[in-house]
Structure 1
């Protein structure tokens, strides 16, 4: 089923996973992760492309595995970087054969091992990719996009970034998963500005549980996200206490999600980092409220 159709009738719960780097680990680890996530009845599971150096081949394999072994719909990531129309058609053909109906169209990160010379690609922006897939595959796929409550790092300001978001919507993207954030007020401000700018499709907040100091610091460096002073103080105080940081992360993320639910957001998308054990604890924490919200 297309995720865009699911969103017309309910709030969605979803998780993001990434294929392991090593080919021989893919299904040994991922199958158990998916099995544990399935116990929470997610509407979809997104599968990254490029995380930890994995190949697009692994993305399609994991998407197929989800389609054949889970009640959740797979959302396969597909990127512009180093993508030609021929390669995109090859991937879309393969996904269609597997019954995968949902794509997250992204620009993608530039390969770190490329130091000079042009990178061959037929697409400059995610909107170009979405427009091409919509034209060539004519309704086969429901397409999603990414949005940035604190703006994309390369955008000059939030208003300009929302203008880009409107272009993405007009290119055929039917819903958005947001970049992670830790301050819900930032998301609510962004959501209001997006709606005023003509973004009418669902916007699903993306939540990343943080469980260690290095992870929090890395997310700040990558995304430039704002961290509430209370969270930062707790992490700074207990940065050498692994167990304490996990408990702090669990409590903070639980309250963050419950606050979003109380504000009637379109769904909750959790960046799991493949930590199914922690995700189980998180979902147990919010299950009483979440069960009613996501039904």
Structure 2
């Protein structure tokens, strides 16, 4: 385990996981691996690597997680979606992951290839949703399976009850952890957890924390995913479009408030969307009391 501050109980530790995306260029690859080397000594529970719509990043995702397996002591989780692939094709990817030594998959329905916010149509002969995908993964090999959840309801879902029912179906399929979509207001996440617990769901529900990189992009994604953005949040970043240094500091302060409030409410696991950069994720871990173990390195 990573070293923690004295006021943290060893019986009740904070655990973190990190999310990366497969790099497109040599420069981006250098940035990714510098970030992995920086974050590895924090001994995350796992690190996940995203997967593009229709397998558009399939080879790069596989290459990245394979390199993590081969060159580091980290435990990688490969994302996998249902988009634009038959069951046979997806099953082949699942088997390839197992053969490569990957033991954890993040099973997601995925966004339509036309983009977030567009109507999703299941691919003919494919898995219809993440619940079916989780069940398919479980039939192939005993993977650890994480799935997604939406604190403010999936934008295509008819109701919160329907969302909860789908999460139950994912668990029935083999899911053992739910990772949330990013959110701004911590109360929205805590209310979702209360709903899930009241419905008998007892797997870990891990908050996904996404520090702001590009404000306009963050707001577009928020609108597409049904994530509410309060006025105070927008005001924090007002006038910083051309000041990336200050914007990064403000983004860190907002995310720091989030993780501290959640930790104060007893949340012990955090999934940090790194955007392939280590600085903010490392700082948030420091705030949570997670310290590097100098004996660990990528």
Q: Which of the five TM-score ranges fits, normalised by the shorter chain?
A: 0.7 to 0.9
- Cα shift readout 1:82-126 (whole Å, capped 9, x = no counterpart): 2223222322222122211000111111212999x9844421111
Pick one of 21, 24, 36 that aligns with 1:21: 24
1:133 and 2:107 equivalent? no
RMSD, matched Cα: 2.8
Superposition deviation, residue 51 in structure 1? 7.2
8 Å CA contact retained: 1:84, 1:121: yes
2:146 is paired with a residue whose SS is strand
8 Å CA contact retained: 2:208, 2:273: yes
8 Å CA contact retained: 1:34, 1:70: no
- Distance (Å, rounded) in 2 between the aligned partners of 1:28 and 1:290: 25
8 Å CA contact retained: 1:212, 1:246: no
Q: Which has the higher contact order (CA 8 A, sep 6+)?
A: 2
More helix as a share of residues? 1
- Cα shift readout 1:186-228 (whole Å, capped 9, x = no counterpart): 1111100011112111111000001442133223222221223
8 Å CA contact retained: 2:48, 2:79: yes
The 1:16/1:150 distance shift into structure 2, 3 A limit, reads same
Superposition deviation, residue 73 in structure 1? 0.9
The 1:39/1:207 distance shift into structure 2, 3 A limit, reads same
- Distance (Å, rounded) in 2 between the aligned partners of 1:12 and 1:84: 36
The 1:240/1:51 distance shift into structure 2, 3 A limit, reads farther
Q: Which structure 1 residue ranges, 5 or more long, are not aligned? A: 1-7
- Distance (Å, rounded) in 2 between the aligned partners of 1:267 and 1:51: 27
- Distance (Å, rounded) in 2 between the aligned partners of 1:176 and 1:142: 12
**Partner in structure 1 of residue 100 of structure 2:** 98
**Partner in structure 1 of residue 110 of structure 2:** 108
**Partner in structure 1 of residue 43 of structure 2:** 41
Pairing 1:200-279 to 2, within 5 Å after superposition: 200-279=202-281
8 Å CA contact retained: 1:80, 1:121: no
- Distance (Å, rounded) in 2 between the aligned partners of 1:77 and 1:118: 18
2:113 is paired with a residue whose SS is coil
**Partner in structure 1 of residue 83 of structure 2:** 81
8 Å CA contact retained: 1:181, 1:187: yes
Superposition deviation, residue 164 in structure 1? 1.1
**Partner in structure 2 of residue 5 of structure 1:** none
| TM value normalised by structure 1 | 0.85
